[in-house]
């Protein structure tokens, strides 16, 4: 396991900011060969977990700043059953929850203000399971995102099964979650799929 965040007398917001910067830099520094090796294991564990949970509608994110790229995996998942639906998040209002719209491999999509493609049209859908990227995470299922609170607001409204995604180098002892943070139900890395362990059970 990687070291925990710095000493607890340091402001937790600053700690999380520093941790976010460190893990994003490590992720973006991966060589293509190393990333491909990690992703082979990652996709195996993710596929096994998703097969076990058996969602019909799945939400995932377009890769951003070196996050695991799930586009080919999602296309393969869709091809396995015509009833399956994959969705991508859209941010209609900065202070509100995200909505999810259907994604079809190869479809044309505009870019949002962060330069991330998103489905501009289509009815909002509610995924049974959402794959949530993590800049850092702990065994209790808490994560460090980008600080905007989008996923926390969205998960509170939709209440799907939430699966956090990250590489093992982003695992820490304790991300020092904030009161509004919503833990993941599962964490998937290249090492396996792990159910979140509530702090009072650890």
202 assigned binding-site residue? no
Q: Are 64 and 116 in contact (CB under 8 A)?
A: yes
**Residue 135 near residue 146, CB atoms below 8 Å:** yes
Distances (CA, A) of 109 to 58, 61, 133: 18, 14, 21
- Residue 52, annotated ligand binder? no
67 annotated to bind ligand: yes
Asked if residue 17 belongs to a known ligand binding site, the reply is yes
Task: Count Cα atoms within 13 angstroms, Cβ side, for 6.
Answer: 13
> Is 101 flagged in the annotation as binding?
no
Compute the chain's Rg from CA coordinates. 16
Alpha helices in the chain (DSSP H): 12-28, 32-53, 71-79, 150-158
Q: Which residues are annotated as a binding site?
A: 16-20, 67
Q: Which residues are annotated as a binding site for substrate?
A: 67
Q: Which residues are annotated as a binding site for ATP?
A: 16-20
């Amino acid at each position: 396991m990687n070291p925990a965040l710095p000493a607890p007398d340091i402001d937790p917001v600053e700690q999380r900011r520093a941790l976010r910067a460190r893990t994003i830099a490590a992720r973006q520094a991966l060589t293509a060969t190393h990333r491909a090796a990690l992703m082979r294991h990652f996709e195996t564990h993710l596929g096994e977990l998703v097969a076990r949970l058996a969602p019909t509608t799945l939400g995932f994110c377009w890769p951003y700043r070196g996050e695991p790229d799930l586009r080919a995996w999602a296309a393969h998942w869709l091809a396995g059953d015509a009833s399956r639906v994959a969705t991508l998040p859209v941010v209609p209002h900065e202070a509100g929850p995200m909505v999810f719209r259907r994604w079809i491999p190869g479809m044309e999509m505009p870019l949002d203000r962060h330069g991330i493609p998103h489905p501009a049209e289509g009815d909002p859908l509610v995924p049974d399971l959402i794959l949530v990227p993590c800049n850092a995470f702990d065994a209790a299922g808490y994560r460090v995102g980008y600080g905007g609170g989008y996923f926390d607001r969205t998960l509170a409204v939709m209440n799907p099964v939430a699966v956090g995604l990250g590489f093992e180098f982003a695992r820490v002892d304790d991300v020092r979650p904030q009161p509004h943070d919503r833990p993941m139900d599962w964490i998937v890395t290249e090492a396996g799929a792990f159910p979140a362990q509530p702090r009072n059970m650890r």
